[in-house]
Amino acid sequence: MPLGVVAIAMVAVKLFAVAVPVSSDTISINTLLAALGFTLMRLGIAYILAVLVSIPLAVLATASPTMEAMFLPMFDIFQSVPILAFFPVIILIFINVKFFTGAAITILFLSMVWNIVFTLIGGINVIPRDIIAAAHLFGLWGWTYFWKVLLPAMVPQLVTGSILAFAQGWNIIIVAEVLHTYIPHGTAAQDLFGIGSILVSASAHGQSTVFLWALCITIVAIALINFFIWQKLLRYAQRFRFE
């Protein structure tokens, strides 16, 4: 499934590849919205991958006290390593396959995944012992236990972790889209078309109007996502909370 998502991303990027407008003094609102769309697509793909990876990692790490003692320190080290330190290496890998978006998605994924993993581990650890005992007593084991008990029980923490992860993604997006600074002898043409790269490009070229418009659109997008997605999901997740 993660490979499928990456494949879809590759096709989408090839179909809608647009250069970053660096030289014009003005930029149309449609271009800004398209840039926002690309940025959201990268964030969305990275987020989906982060969720798909986080859930099994969290389940694995909490499977037994031994597993927890083994995996938690390991995860702690991974999440402490600065993500941007990986970026030049990641870019070099993706340059070879000429898939720059892959580099951006990977860095976004790495910035998101640990937020979700650690909140999910916290969520699994607070499942009441009576609930686990009841589930096992009534025959819920293995996959059935995962689908019917563990996954629903994780929903509140998944939503909280997702909000944190997406916020982290927005923080990283500027770096993730402005690839040329990490490529030896790189040029702005190697940057990815997105709201992050437009912000950097506008700032570098003194295009204050473009910069302000891009900034406003980013803020509005973040606010709308918060209002229409995260707030609704937070309310929905209340139902999954244990008293």
Residues lying near other proteins in the complex (CB under 8 A): 128, 130-131, 133-134, 136-140, 144, 148-149, 152, 155, 239-243
SS3 of 163-186: the string is HHHHHHHHHHHHHHHCHHHHCCCC
Q: What are the DSSP calls for 90-133, one per residue?
A: HHHHHHHTT-HHHHHHHHHHHHHHHHHHHHHHHHHHTS-HHHHH
Compare residues 92 and 131 and give the one whose CB is closer to other proteins. Answer: 131
Non-local (6+) Cβ contacts of 222 within 8 A are 170
Compare residues 142 and 206 and give the one whose CB is closer to other proteins. Answer: 142
- Minimum separation from the CB atom of position 151 to other proteins (A): 10
Compare residues 98 and 239 and give the one whose CB is closer to other proteins. Answer: 239
User: Comparing C-alpha atoms, which of 18, 6, 16 is closest to residue 193?
Assistant: 18
Alpha-carbon dihedral sign for residues 237, 238, 239, 241: positive
Compare residues 105 and 154 and give the one whose CB is closer to other proteins. Answer: 154
- Minimum separation from the CB atom of position 50 to other proteins (A): 23
In the chain, how long is the greatest CA-to-CA distance? 68
- Minimum separation from the CB atom of position 154 to other proteins (A): 11
- Minimum separation from the CB atom of position 1 to other proteins (A): 24
Compare residues 93 and 131 and give the one whose CB is closer to other proteins. Answer: 131
- Minimum separation from the CB atom of position 126 to other proteins (A): 13
Residue 202: count of CB within 10 angstroms of its CB: 22
